Amino acid sequence: MGPEHPDWVKLEKEEERLDREEEETLAKLLHLRKQKRLIRTRGKDMLRRGLKTLDELDAAEEADRVAAEKQAEEAASAQPSSEPLAPTDEPFVPFDPAGLSPSCWSDFLRDVSVSTPRAAHG
C-alpha cells in the first residue's frame, strides 16, 4: 500500500488527542468523586464530634491516634514477655504430669513393670 492520505493522518492524530483528553477528564472526574466521598465522610465525623472545621477534626483524629498508640504500648509492656527462657544449669525442667493424656499414661504403664515390696512376716 502507498503512503497514507494526509487527511487520514490528521484524523488519526485528532482521535488520539481526543482519547488523551478523555482519559484526563475521566481521571479528574474520579479524583473529584473521591474527594466528594471523603468530604462527606469527614463532614459526618466532624458533626458527630461537634466540631466546626476540618482542621479541628484533623487535630482530634491525631489526638485519638496518639492515645491509641500510647494505650497499645502500655498494654504491650504490661503483658509478660514471650521470649524463650534462658537455659539454666539445673538438670531438671519443671513438668506437670497432669497435662498428659490418658492414652499416654496407658502406654507408659504398659511399658513399665512395677513391683510392690512384700511385707516380711515373721
Residues in the chain: 122
93 part of a folded domain: no
The tens digit of pLDDT for each residue in 49-95 reads 999 999 999 999 999 999 999 999 998 888 765 555 556 666 666 66
Cell matching residue 41: 465522610
Overall average pLDDT of the 28-56 stretch: 95
- Proportion of the chain above pLDDT 70, given as a percent: 66
Residue 46 lies in a domain: yes
- Residue 91 within any structural domain of the chain: no
What pLDDT is recorded for position 18?
Answer: 98
Average pLDDT over residues 41-55: 94
Q: What is the pTM of this model?
A: 0.44
Write out the residue range of the structural domain in which residue 32 sits: 7-76
The total number of structural domains in the chain stands at 1
Q: Is residue 41 in a domain?
A: yes
Secondary structure of the chain as H, E, C letters: CCCCCHHHHHHHHHHHHHHHHHHHHHHHHHHHHHHHHHHHHHHHHHHHHCCCCHHHHHHHHHHHHHHHHHHHHHHHHHCCCCCCCCCCCCCCCCCCHHHCCHHHHHHHHHHCCCCCCCCCCC
pLDDT confidence of residue 77: 84
